[in-house]
A and B are shown apart, each in its own frame.
Chain A
Amino acid sequence: MTTPASRTPEGGYIGAPVPRREDARLLTGRGTFVDDLPMPGVAHAAMVRSPHAHARVGRIDAAAALALDGVLAVVTAADVADIQKPWPARMPSPVPGTAIRHGVRHTLPGDKVRHAGEVVAAVVAESRALAEDARDLLSVEYEVLPVVATAAAGLAPGAPLVYEQLGDNIAAHIVQRVGNPEQAFAAAAHTLRETFRVTRGGSHSMEGRGVVARYDEALDGFTVWDATQAPHAVRAMLAYLFELPEHRVRVIAPPDVGGGLGPKASVYPEEVLVCWLARRLRRPVKWIEDRHEHFVSAAQEREQVHTVEIAFTGEGRLLALRDVFTHDIGMYGALVAPVISACTVPGPYRIPNIHSEFRAVYTNLQPTGAVRGAGRPQGVLVMERMMDRMAETLGLDPAEVRARNLIPADAFPYEVGMWFRDGARLTYDSGNYPELLRRALERADYAQARREQAALRAQGRHRGIGVAICVEGVGLGPFEGAILRLDGRGRVVVTSGAPPQGQGYQTTFAQIAADAVGVRFEDVDVVTGDTGAIPYGTGSFASRVTANAGPAILQAGGALREKILAVGAHLLEAAAADLAIVDGAVRVRGMPDRGVPLAQVARLGNAGVAFGMVMPGGLQVGLEASAYFAPAQAGYSASAHVCILDVDADTGEVTIVRYVVGHDCGNVINPLLVEGQILGGVAHGLSNALYEEAIFDEQGQSLASSFLDYPLPSAREMPRVEMFHLTTPSPLNPLGVKGAGEAGTLPVTAAVAGAVEDALRSFGVRVNRMPLNPARISDLIHEARRPS
């Protein structure tokens, strides 16, 4: 892999399809995931989890477990009293004048457990197998309480209380209004009302959560290797709970984290317990989440029930939207997903009057967070289903109805009139939705596809076509930083806070840094996710890193370049303006033989002339520059998907015939990697649309806690995806970038739902609930056939 990285025709790296420098180690089995790290003397923790969704915790008898040879400790809430502080709320409500009613939890539940799978104790032993043997010998008494297993149950009068002190189960009730929706509904020629349900799902990164902690007695501090998306947030929580200054808690996301997709951006009790145990035992302690634990304890998302109404004219122009929904927030969570859902519903359409309202409801299910898409897919599904129903009502083509309502290309910045999840106004920065839709339809040969559909229908085949278009808030703040330096080898080292979980920052950050400093891609090293290497950072989530870290790298890189050229100017006795960096050396333009290697520049700039000797007059010391970039608001990417599929009405099986994706995430740093992000996102969306469903019974017990009950699509189920890009640069940052990490997922459930309903139009099937697995499709057909 020694061929130089590809460049754009202009000679830069930004925008070029540079193959990833991460790949070689991952392809040869030499990656370093958290469970791969050599950790001599490590002890292994197993978590003791409540089998009940809601129960008072009684006596815990650990005698038999502790008697087992090789068992080092069993810890319960009483043991960790020194760190049993209330966990702080993750974020306030971003909508002014509203609040989240915070359900206070602790690292271990002192009083009662609130979900099946909640940790009540931990066992540490010389091996994981021994720790699990001991766990099975532990006896925990529970007094089982009535369970809130759905948001609807949580809202019912007399419902059991997840948090007694709140008086009810409502975490938040947020209303946002634009214009005068009541008046618009009253005066409208047409209105439609529907209810849609989207079910819970998990991230199922192939690597679960995992953490290894080491306590350093001499420094009274921790070093924590954590498969996390947000090491600085973990540090803040640990510093708070252990009452340590932040600099004595070093959290490192290992160079390789096996997928994140949302849940690894939360902090969990296991991370805290492992640190406490490492301090108690004076040994490194490791806990690796197994798949069953991922099913019952990692954050999930998506469960919402929307009742939505639209008002529109006879020509198919939207006049008003009313969307009222419940969001199952689980036993712990933030308002990330429901606020984003509310703000995603209006999408790419001009809607002058909006009433948006949700209740986030505590339930006795595991915590919620974000799962790739983070509330957006639900919002897209709701709006796009209504666009399909409006088309059906008016006898218009679904693509045409959409085109009639799109925000025109000259209307940016476009203010929707709501508050977004980042606490800023929901204002679309740039876009060209009509062109995006037009090209998606063209790429899918839409008119021809409709003709083929008519021919197939005449033969009794069930061909359906679904169109979905959406706007996606991305690149959320508050900030990300970058420290760039020229090291003693003459290499540029980029340090940034957010860690990757497969996105390829070692490649994209190096592309940006190489262009900013003016060095070769091969001369850049990238360090991420280490709180000991950069003091502040936010993390990898919300499709935010390129739009936050990217501009920080660009800015710091420019400053480093100036410093390098100033030192070079001194060494070459030339004006800095006459210098360039070429092939690892600072050179005088037009004089190829006059140059100094970057390593020599680094020696003077970072070490001085010699030990204890003064620097030449005026030369700035330290070839290092840092920058923090904080965008004023989120950027807004856009996608248009066309899905053509066949449904087998006998088996309920869906076969995707064509899948076309149009995508606009502003300027692209690396098209190869952006396409990879989109493809992965589409797979996740198809999984949500057709396969995966986290089912819980009325007692809050997971009924789908293995990959046998909770199917994910394989390469056999995935269609070939056709893709094109549209580029409307973002004015919010100097790179013009937006975000692409979640984009592929967003419109898929909507496009598939539209296509399946279209395919089964002869039966009059109504698709109001996802996923559309064969059993549900068969049920829909049978229900539609049943004489009423």
Chain B
Amino acid sequence: MSETRAIALTVNGRPHRATVETRLTLVDLLREELRLTGTHVGCEHGVCGACTVLVDGEAVRGCLLLAVQADGRHVETVESLAPDLEHLNPLQAEFVRHHGVQCGFCTGGILMSLTAALRDNPRPTEAEVRETLAGHLCRCTGYQGMVDAVLALVAAR
């Protein structure tokens, strides 16, 4: 149906090669081909942010980027944040403490946006945290637990 192209990219530090349809989105490559299912698809039109991953350190919508656009790039997904369930990173641990997760469908994308934002600005104000989170939709939490989690992380620094 659609033409294909060979690409090579690094995902969570591991090199991958794939021959993909040019219409394949990055999030479908991650989920379907690489079985990294922590990144979710919530709207497919770039609003909800559930599919957010980092490409060369920048938070991007996995549903709006084609897999071929990630050729030669470094991609980071939520799976990269902790080696296993017992060793959460400090941001993840604060999300547990402050009940920042309910259904958890949006959470992976939110953590990736926050990860990128905290690298750029390790001491954000509440308004700045809300600005970062404004790229995401969550229908469960009202966001307050997430905001408090980030502020607690910042306060502990």
Contacts and interface: CB of A to CB of B under 8 A. Distances in A.
Interface in A703-746: 706-708, 712, 714-718, 720-721, 744
B102 A28 contact: no
A786 interface: no
14 contacts: A2-B86, A20-B99, A22-B101, A25-B85, A27-B88, A28-B92, A206-B42, A206-B106, A206-B140, A259-B105, A680-B141, A708-B45, A720-B144, A720-B147
B39 interface: yes
B47 A27 contact: no
A566 B142 CA distance: 48
A743 to B, nearest CB: 13
A344 interface: no
Interface size class on chain B is 35 or more
A252 to B, nearest CB: 17
B85 A1 contact: yes
A92 B27 CA distance: 45
A716 B86 CA distance: 32
A755 interface: no
B103 interface: yes
Closest 9 CB pairs of A and B: A29-B38, A26-B104, A258-B105, A502-B103, A502-B102, A715-B133, A683-B142, A679-B142, A36-B37
Contacts of B5: none
A257 B104 CA distance: 9
Contact of B43 (A1, A257, A291, A679): A291
Given A28-B38, A291-B45, A721 B142 contact: yes
B136 to A, nearest CB: 7
Interface string A735-767: 000000000100000000000000000000000
Given A680-B140, A683-B141, A19 B107 contact: no
Given A19-B96, A29-B37, A130 B1 contact: yes
A36 B107 CA distance: 15
B84 to A, nearest CB: 7
Given A206-B106, A708-B45, A259 B140 contact: yes
Contact of A28 (B35, B85, B140): B85
B48 A707 contact: yes
A1 B96 contact: yes
A133 interface: yes
A503 interface: yes
Nearest to A500: B103
B95 A27 contact: yes
* Most chain A beta carbons < 10 A, residue from B38, B84, B102: B102
Interface size class on chain A is 35 or more
A31 interface: yes
A206 B103 contact: yes
B82 A258 contact: no
Contacts of A714: 130, 133-137, 143
A33 B96 contact: no
A26 B81 CA distance: 12
Interface in A552-583: none
Contact of A207 (B42, B97, B147): B42
A501 B139 contact: no
* Most chain A beta carbons < 10 A, residue from B44, B82, B144: B144
Interface of A: 1-2, 19-20, 22-31, 33, 35-36, 38, 68-69, 129-130, 133, 203-207, 256-259, 261, 290-291, 501-504, 672-673, 675-676, 679-684, 706-708, 712, 714-718, 720-721, 744
A28 B141 contact: no
A730 B83 CA distance: 44
Contacts of B139: 203-206, 259, 261, 680, 683-684, 712
A68 B2 CA distance: 13
A501 B144 contact: no
B47 to A, nearest CB: 4
Contacts of A204: 137, 139
B59 to A, nearest CB: 15
Interface string B114-157: 00000000000000011101111111111111110000000000
Interface string B27-49: 00001000111111111110110
Nearest to A261: B139
B78 interface: yes
Given A206-B140, A707-B43, 13 more contacts: A27-B101, A27-B111, A29-B36, A258-B106, A259-B139, A259-B140, A261-B139, A501-B103, A683-B139, A683-B142, A706-B45, A707-B47, A714-B130
A648 B141 CA distance: 28
A1 B103 contact: no
B96 A256 contact: no
A503 B137 contact: no
* Most chain A beta carbons < 10 A, residue from B37, B97, B103, B133: B103
* Most chain A beta carbons < 10 A, residue from B86, B104, B129, B133: B104
A35 B35 CA distance: 11
B102 A676 contact: yes
B143 A718 contact: yes
B58 interface: no
A20 B88 contact: no
Contacts of B106: 206, 258
A29 B134 contact: no
B54 to A, nearest CB: 13
Given A24-B85, A28-B78, A680 B92 contact: no
Contacts of A290: 44
B96 A715 contact: no
Contact of A676 (B86, B107, B137, B145): B145
